[in-house]
Amino acid sequence: MKIELKGITESFWEVHLSASRSEISFKIEGVTFTDGISADLNMSRADEMYIISGSCGVNAKMDCVRCLEPAKVTLSGNISVLAGQRGAGGMSQLEGEEDLIIIGDNEVLEMDDPIRQALISSIPMKPLCDESCLGLCQHCGVNRNQFHCDCESRRDDPRWEALNDLKSRVAGADEVSG
């Protein structure tokens, strides 16, 4: 997603960028884009520097953390970057800054990386297919949203037998003494 800067004389303007799903030139691990990306940006120019701020968004799918089925998510983030040509006034002081874009000789501002970073920052920590997702059974692995299992009713873990025996003996001793 590029912004052509050649010939722009305004000191403030708005830009709408969009890319269809097939035109998106970057990937985010664990995320499948289902629609195109759109970005609405406000740009201002001060001497040879550009200040870009705005928002971007895309609909996507991720794996649900409970059942591993696809979960629909909307990723939307805010963009705030500075841009300028190498050697421009003030650029030497800013080089090395995280939110700085160096504009090449062709006067095209490449926005893929700032948009990608904004979308990554909006990825949910625990995407869910539904708030009421029951997840996978921890014993047999069946998706409990689709099938019923009786694993809950047979939760006897042989590792706890000795403790259960002790509990029974203590309970029995209490009944005899009480």
pLDDT digits (tens, 9 = 90+) for 28-73: 999 999 999 999 999 988 777 888 899 999 999 999 999 999 999 9
DSSP structure class, residue 35: S
How many Cα neighbours within 13 Å face the side chain of 67? 17
Q: Given pLDDT bands bounded at 50, 70 and 90, which one contains residue 92?
A: very low
pTM (2 d.p.): 0.72
Do 67 and 133 contact (CB within 8 A), yes or no? yes
**How far is residue 165's CA from residue 34's CA, in Å, rounded to a whole number?**
55
Within-domain flag for 59: yes
Residue 24 has pLDDT above 80, yes or no: yes
Question: Which is nearest to 41 in space by CA: 52, 32, 26?
Answer: 52
The winner for highest mean pLDDT among 22-26, 65-69, 87-91, 163-167 is 65-69
pLDDT at 135: 92
Within-domain flag for 25: yes
In Å, how far are 58, 105, 123 from 29, measured between CA atoms?
Answer: 15, 32, 11
Do 35 and 13 contact (CB within 8 A), yes or no? no
Domain count within the chain: 1
Within-domain flag for 143: no
Within-domain flag for 55: yes
Question: Which is nearest to 99 in space by CA: 122, 117, 85, 87?
Answer: 117
Q: Name the β-bridge partners of 83.
A: 50, 101
Residue span of the structural domain in which 89 resides: 2-120
Within-domain flag for 101: yes
Within-domain flag for 87: yes
